[in-house]
Structure 1
């Protein structure tokens, strides 16, 4: 009887081990399948994003952004995406700055050698407003999902590039630019330093203070200042430790005090409530500026 019981226990243990091995195998296969899907989606999107033609780059950026939104819903896929960004051929940020966010120089013909040569002159179509805006959204997503992307962006002088977009492009790109700037500077002292050296606060203050500017853009500037102050306030020795004083100098005591107080909102709110509160506080900031 005792021998029979020991055999049954041994059989149960063997069965349990077999089930565990099968489960591990299935899990490993699922992870490999998911990794193949992630890398395939990136390779396909990046192939188009490297194109010489703007309409193809736009198509590639749309696919990358769609892919990143699906990635953001799951911790395991976020980790897979982060792993892919250690592989040069799959890195997204360099492609953005080498193509969509790259300022195309005028195609000046210095000589006519290309006419008599068998090699045609290579022409790259400039980035459209929609392409620049979409590239900025992809950049924002990369920095939020993968912190090292902020360092990749710094290597391409991202803050200087984005400040130029903010100063020269339309409202569509400017709004996306402000969102991307926040993601670039989040916990990145090196990008915060670049922003300060570019007189970034002055540029944003000019936009929010311009009553003839697009109202939605001014609202976005208000949200930007609230998020910026809320993030860097009180950090002694931080690159932007004096940002509150800069805003006080540029926008006045009343508006600066309102921005400082309003920036402390929402620590206990859920994401949707926090976003609503951000819109409300940004509206109050605009109203305080428009009173004068």
Structure 2
């Protein structure tokens, strides 16, 4: 998605060098305001056309039968989401596109790239006796699942209402399955996507509790044979989760502190709780650095046992 500045917008707001002597200042201001409103409207329409075109192109490939085409579409969608995140006005346009069924990202992700293998079981042998060839879809590769989870994460962060669609497709159950059966690449992306799906979504939080999500994450974190970076990501996930639900008594996972204390021990639980009490700086890079350091301390406290 390339949002180029239109040629006609450069001089749209400029005033004539030699205005007519008969033209009053008020008339000039009114004319300038009309021109600016027209330019703004045209620019918004242009951005919306480019955004919808980019989404349609990516979604077309994301629905393909072959994994390499789906990956191409997902990467295109991920690039579009990164462009959208740079501007509040484009975020509003993106939010509007997600109210249109043909442009919604979440259903496509769960119908194709994040589709569970058991959904492909053969329930009929009619295709053997027919003359029409059976439609074959290649399974999702590790890279495809990881990119799809990144797209899901970005979509839910930019458009929080997408968490409702994610719940309808059993997002938490699917992601917990990825977390317990897939490799490190997908597991890391899964933790990031999972926290974005759980934010301010009671329905998904209920599903997370029903799937024993805290136990699954704690099990990975306690496993000293697991990848060190993955264990660190688990610590970051718990820090973000506790910080989000802290003080929300009505949250379906309000007992997360007690669960962490039971699963990881008093010291680790105390470190996580203490870290959630301090406000974070406004600088995103500093927040990420602080989160990484805090997760490392939690992991160190866990390894002392």
Question: Where do residues 102-141 of structure 1 align in structure 2 (5 Å cutoff)?
Answer: 102-105=115-118, 108=122, 111=125, 113-141=126-154
For 1:188, the equivalent position in structure 2 comes to 201
Aligned to 1:230, the other structure's residue is in SS state: helix
Inter-partner Cα distance in structure 2 for 1:234 and 1:204: 22
Which residue is equivalent to 1:72? 85
Corresponding residue for 2:261? 248
Are 2:192 and 2:237, in contact at CA under 8 Å, matched by a contact in 1?
Answer: yes
> Unmatched 5+ residue regions in structure 1?
1-6
Cα 1:66–1:243, aligned 2, differ >3 Å: closer, same or farther? same
Render the CA deviation track for 1:159-204: whole Å, top value 9, x for unaligned: 1111111111011101110111110111111111111111100000
CA deviation string 1:33-66 (max 9, x = no partner): 1100000000000000011111100000000000
**1:56-67 equivalence runs, <5 A:** 56-67=69-80
Q: 1:207, 1:213 within 8 Å by CA — same for their partners in 2?
A: yes
Matched, 1:176 2:189: yes
Kindly indicate whether the alpha-carbon contact (under 8 Å) linking 1:41 and 1:64 is maintained by their aligned counterparts in 2: yes
Find the aligned partners of 2:48 and 2:64 in 1 and give their Cα distance. 25
Does residue 239 (structure 1) correspond to residue 249 (structure 2)? The answer is no
Shift of 1:139: 0.3
Q: What is the CA-CA distance between 1:254 and the residue it aligns to? A: 1.1
Quote the RMSD (CA, aligned, Å): 1.7
Report how far residue 103 of structure 1 moved.
1.2
- Larger proportion of helix: 1
Matched with 2:239 is 226
The number of equivalent residue pairs is 285
> Corresponding residue for 1:261?
274
Q: 1:86 aligns with which of 99, 113, 117?
A: 99
Q: Which residue of 1 aligns with 2:220?
A: 207
TM-score, normalization by structure 1: 0.93
Q: TM-score, normalised by structure 2?
A: 0.89
Answering whether residue 184 of structure 2 is matched by residue 147 of structure 1, we say no
Distance change in 2, residues 1:188/1:109 (3 Å):
closer
